[in-house]
């Protein structure tokens, strides 16, 4: 099983910054992709950004230029640097890790963190 632990959320003012962290642990062969999704009240969960093991990134248009995703493969950790935060960025942010494991050694399986609150308010 794979466990994801998120940290770094909280309350910031519009224009402020936060850095989210997510560390994966457990019986992991490899982590192919890590990333972040978010869900605001009354809205669907949406992709924020992902990064592959090779460093290729995919960033949502809504946050492009403001958010940066990075990864520390040695520690199985993904980061999301969030700058110039807007009220519409407020949401629960969920960490994703797509991993091969002993129970799924050929095809990656998605694992999710419990989510962490980001509030943007003055």
Q: For residue 88, name the pLDDT band (cuts at 50, 70, 90).
A: very high
Q: Is residue 9 pLDDT above 90, yes or no?
A: yes
Q: Is residue 100 pLDDT above 90, yes or no?
A: yes
**pLDDT at position 39:** 98
**pLDDT at position 32:** 96
The tens digit of pLDDT for each residue in 108-117 reads 999 999 999 9
Cβ partners under 8 Å of residue 33, min gap 6: 50, 51, 52, 53, 96, 97, 98, 108
Distance of CA 4 to the CA centre of its chain: 10
The tens digit of pLDDT for each residue in 36-83 reads 999 999 999 999 999 999 999 999 999 999 999 999 988 999 999 999
Residue 21 tokens read as: 């962290």
Angle at 61 between CA 71 and CA 97, to 5 degrees: 30
Q: Choose among 98, 119, 94, 120: nearest CA to 109.
A: 98
**pLDDT at position 1:** 86
**pLDDT at position 73:** 86
Task: Characterize 17-49 residue by residue with b for buried, 16 or more Cβ atoms within 10 angstroms of its Cβ, and e for exposed.
Answer: ebebbbbbeeebeebebbbbbbeeeeeeeeebb
Q: For residue 23, name the pLDDT band (cuts at 50, 70, 90).
A: very high
**pLDDT at position 25:** 97
């Amino acid at each position: 099983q794979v466990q994801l632990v998120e940290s770094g959320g909280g309350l910031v003012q519009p224009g402020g910054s936060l850095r989210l962290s997510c560390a994966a642990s457990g019986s992991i062969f490899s982590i192919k992709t890590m990333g972040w999704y978010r869900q605001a009240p009354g809205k669907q969960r949406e992709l924020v950004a992902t990064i592959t093991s090779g460093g290729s990134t995919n960033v949502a248009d809504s946050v492009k230029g403001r958010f940066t995703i990075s990864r520390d493969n040695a520690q199985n950790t993904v980061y999301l640097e969030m700058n110039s935060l807007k009220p519409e960025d407020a949401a629960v942010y969920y960490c994703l890790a797509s991993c091969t494991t002993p129970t799924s050694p050929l095809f990656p399986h998605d694992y999710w963190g419990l989510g962490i609150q980001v509030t943007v308010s003055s």
